[in-house]
Structure 1
């Protein structure tokens, strides 16, 4: 995904004038207090993120004392991911997301700190507590304007998936599904508004299904995908209907590869001349993946070419928010994954290496997963040391992410590395993961 990822707590509060004034005057005590009152973030959590003693945080929140040291202002602003312009600083390095390729970030680095804050926030109800995630109460008559506001909220919440796993987000996304169902059941609206609201429900069900799948709730995921397919049909939304099939195909691969290919082909059959370019590319990507896992190189190559053509020749027009993350970097990664599955490491390694160098560590779960395919390709090519180094990096990124998939991918790779324990880098990796 290449759209701007979500930032940590203070940015979620930027719509509050009091917070903006507090940031401008470096009154972090007010920011800390509002974070605790509205999002339930404890002072001890804030202290850990900002490297301040908990009692000092409490004192500041009570309006006693100020942060006056420039270095400390910078440290706190960066820990909380406050844009430099709001605190009188130059743009921070992380704002441009221009860290050099291959830069190592430790477990205490900014990407992990941001993930930790968001995990705490979702666990204490951030989606309901912060103004940026505020859910507008339904009016007596549901209008297109109200549906637009719900759609904007759904788009904001979707950004949580950039940095958090399904174990953290499933409850949030499922709550959106249930809320929209309630509006459809109780609300009053025109036929056009009903269709738009129904389409939004299909979109939300897909997001909740994805989160369930990522968190290991496979039965819930299938149920939500099936519901999304039915709802998308009711909404007369061909794009969301096709995407529901693509999700089902992706999940079906584990049990029936040939059936997954058929479902993925059905999803691509929904493509029309009006299908947005990123949606076309997404559906063809999922077909390529199904073909690769089923050992069909020709079908894989054909689907990948169709996906690339969709991105290369797509008109310059707005894309659905749920597919806007599909770009050439994502397609390159999928290309490398497919060739890895087909045991073509000479094709897989160069494209994965180049694409992952462009891929932000902020997307820790996804990058960890993608690195697992690079490690797999290295093992197929006999490059054991490179594989071990890549697995180590993937494990580092996966630490603390509430997703079952990275560990599921990395466990068999570690098993394949065990016969090479006489190699120092492999031995060190196995020692670190023992127990």
Structure 2
């Protein structure tokens, strides 16, 4: 029988402790490793379990250097046996599948009213049976209703983040896939494929926004296949552009450039409107900027603005690109300059876009405000940067988005050299109050 010190992962008592729960929620791996040390897991042992060097473990424990690579985070979860939900991941393969409670009751025992009325709702299996019995009800109104629900999902995703929406979106995706099995050839079937592709992309986006990149990639790939089935090249380009943006977050700049280029090739000769091409060009600019390729970034920005100038009321834009208006063009241009370190060019653009942008998109405003704070810090305006980040923190508190939280942590790390400054101390107080 193995000794307790040789157990595979962290002990259950440690995993359930408030300190570990808080450290995992914040993805504070320095604190996680320190707590593991106290439980008898020295750095050499952690190194073996999570496939990292001991020196890297030590750097994370003593310094501000964090971990953003999802593959590394997943290795830590698997090596230390930290349940996925604690780190904002999907259930890990080694986690036991929850066992359903038995449905029988001993003879003669009366049933009391359920404590939670939700438990009395019909199960998903019954819904599926009744749906089969009713048969598909395909009509133009069905497709319109599905598109309307997708628009509502995107609106709520902008306002609150997509984490809580995901179960509903995945459920609707499965429902549409079932409809496809019953649909005959024709326009309805094509429209259902389009709806399924949009739902798969939306699901991928919610995983991307949660920084759960492997799951996001799976759903983006599914969206790509669904769009390909009906030869919807502009939508395929849209999905490829999402995958390009994700690659920039995963520090895969060469992949990001290849995907953004493929997206433009896909749309250019297949109905890509000027608005679509402008959006895709800016995704290319992000990719080149992540490689610090100044000339290629500037060329892609120029292309984006050239395409945007050709937009007309006669364009038949797909609904998914309607968000890409002039403020979005401006802010993305500013972010591309910011990624290159061109803070003087970036700041007025991001600031103007924030003044003009849609107030209902809370995640976008928080995201762009953190970018503005980062750019202001690049220019040496510490007080202004902390003030801007404080405003972003207030907006971010209403949004469930790990991507926004990640930008907050990155900005927080940039403040470490200035931690004694009054503005930084005030911002630290604000962060502590927001994270209670």
- Structure 1 alignment gaps of length 5 or more: 1-123, 125-136
- Cα deviation per residue 1:256-290 (whole Å; 9 max; x = unaligned)? 11111111111111123521233222211211111
Q: 2:171 aligns with which of 172, 175, 183?
A: 175
Deviation at 1:157, TM superposition (A): 2.7
Deviation at 1:309, TM superposition (A): 2.1
Moved more, 147-156 or 323-332: 147-156
Matched length: 299
TM-score by length of 1: 0.65
1:26-425 counterparts in 2 under 5 A?
A: 140=136, 142-185=138-181, 187-253=182-248, 254-272=250-268, 274-316=271-313, 317-425=315-423
Q: Following TM superposition, where does structure 1 have runs of at least 4 consecutive aligned residues deviating by more than 6 angstroms?
A: none
Deviation at 1:229, TM superposition (A): 0.8
Tell me how far apart the structure 1 counterparts of residues 266 and 409 of structure 2 sit (CA, whole Å): 37
TM-score by length of 2: 0.65
Tell me how far apart the structure 2 counterparts of residues 198 and 393 of structure 1 sit (CA, whole Å): 42
Deviation at 1:143, TM superposition (A): 3.6
Question: Does the aligned pair in 2 maintain the 1:162–1:363 contact within 8 Å?
Answer: yes
Tell me how far apart the structure 2 counterparts of residues 139 and 319 of structure 1 sit (CA, whole Å): 34
Tell me how far apart the structure 2 counterparts of residues 386 and 395 of structure 1 sit (CA, whole Å): 14
Deviation at 1:299, TM superposition (A): 1.7
SS in 2 for 1:244: helix
Tell me how far apart the structure 1 counterparts of residues 372 and 426 of structure 2 sit (CA, whole Å): 20
- Structure 2 alignment gaps of length 5 or more: 1-117, 119-130
Question: Does the aligned pair in 2 maintain the 1:166–1:211 contact within 8 Å?
Answer: yes
SS in 1 for 2:322: coil
Pick the structure with greater CA Rg.
Answer: 2
2:103 aligns with: none
Deviation at 1:385, TM superposition (A): 0.9
Question: Does the aligned pair in 2 maintain the 1:142–1:189 contact within 8 Å?
Answer: no
- Cα deviation per residue 1:268-319 (whole Å; 9 max; x = unaligned)? 1112352123322221121111111111122212222222222221231342
Tell me how far apart the structure 2 counterparts of residues 184 and 417 of structure 1 sit (CA, whole Å): 52
Q: Looking at both structures, which has the greater relative contact order when contacts are Cα pairs under 8 Å and sequence separation is at least 6?
A: 1
